[in-house]
Amino acid sequence: MDIVLSHPFSGALYAFFTEQATGEKVPEKIGHSYYQTLYGKNHYETRDLALTQLLMYEKVFIVPADNHMPEYKNHLSGGKYENNELGLFTDWDEHQKAQDEIEAQIELDQQDSVISRILAKVPLHSKRQILRDVRLEVALANKFKCPILAGGGRNTIFKRLSEIDGNFTTPQLVGAGVVRTTEHYINLASLSFNPTNYDLLYSYKQDRELRLYADSLRKIVSGVGESEDPRKELLLLMRESMEKDSLTKKASGFLDVTSILLSLAGFIPVAGPFFSAAALAATAGGKTFDRQARRTWHEFGPRIKRITDFKEMELLIATELADT
């Protein structure tokens, strides 16, 4: 599945890329207004969630910015940045092509009473930057036929644009509940990213097993996201998945769907209304889904840690041998 990654997650990625390029921490208070708006106030708090989303989705599209990008020279052709190894894409050509139309839309958007209230405390130059990015993100989502993942006030602006433009021109938004559920998983798995270079990030994105876990995790958080208590439902599904995984390893083959559903039934009285039909379907699925994901969506975080440990051990060995 592909995604257009919007603010604050795109800003957290851009801040991270700058740190990787400069070797210096981006200050919490940034002097230049452009980068204040681009990165956002909470880019450090959002970083783990943004990097998780970069790994969870196959292709991630972000609006172009005057900012560092991973191995920029190796992946830039004309105005297009296409990093297939990271699944990260941005396009200045697309920006230039749509500029006149977007600027005309911005003039109208600024006059909308709802948008004006949302951006009431934002300086004028930042308002235009925000609305320009929003309109370009809508264009990207329509071009690549994928949803937009945004948060906070940016989500509210997208919803308002859907009322102004109509649902035919405004793409689907990933629900806020899905984002919250992903954040719950990150906390439960103690998932934290601190790569000192891009090697680890490339290793994560290109790991075949992690891709299966990512696909499985996306299905789970999508099913859980709209529940009344997503953290509790996630915990129950995680326990169920871990128990099934343990049982599978002891058996000669995979459990069939009937066995899975019977096993889930034992948890339903405990979970009560918290189990949604979508979550049950994502967990039980069918034989093909179970065989592919190996019922180990909860191992997305542990898999990242194993890759990290392996790469660190490789580096240690290479360093030690180089000194002998």
pLDDT one-digit tens code per residue, 180-223: 999 999 998 888 887 667 888 999 999 998 998 999 899 888 88
Q: What is the pLDDT of residue 32?
A: 82
pLDDT tens digits for 20-29? 998 888 877 7
**Of residues 56, 59, 120, the one with CA closest to residue 91:** 59
Contact, 310 vs 318, CB < 8 A?
A: no
Asked if residue 152 lies in contact with residue 199, where contact means CB atoms within 8 angstroms, the answer is no
Predicted local distance difference test score (pLDDT) of residue 27: 79
Average pLDDT over residues 59-65: 96
Q: Which one, of 284, 283, 176, lies nearest residue 235 by Cα?
A: 283
Q: Using one digit for the tens of pLDDT, what is the confidence trace for 1-11?
A: 899 999 999 99
Neighbouring CB atoms inside 10 A of 30's CB total 17
Residues 112, 304: Cα–Cα separation, whole Å: 45
Q: How confident is the model at residue 260 (pLDDT cuts 50, 70, 90)?
A: very low
Q: In what order do the strands lie in the sheet with 88-91?
A: 76-77, 80-83, 88-91, 59-61, 2-5, 148-149
Name the DSSP letter for residue 173. Answer: B
Where are the domains positioned within the chain? Answer: 2-174, 195-315
**Residue 275 backbone zone (phi > 0: left; psi -120 to 50: alpha; other: beta):** beta
Spatial distance between the Cα atoms of 59 and 99, rounded to a whole number of angstroms: 24
Tell me which DSSP letter residue 149 carries: E
Q: What is the pLDDT of residue 170?
A: 67
Residue 171, pLDDT score = 78
Q: What is the pTM of this model?
A: 0.81
Query: Residues 2, 61: contact at Cβ < 8 Å?
Result: yes
Phi and psi at 227, nearest 5°, equal -75, 165
Taking the C-alpha atoms of residue 31 and residue 299, their distance in angstroms, rounded to an integer, is: 41
pLDDT digits (tens, 9 = 90+) for 82-110: 999 999 999 998 788 878 888 888 889 98
Name the residue with tokens 């490789």: 314
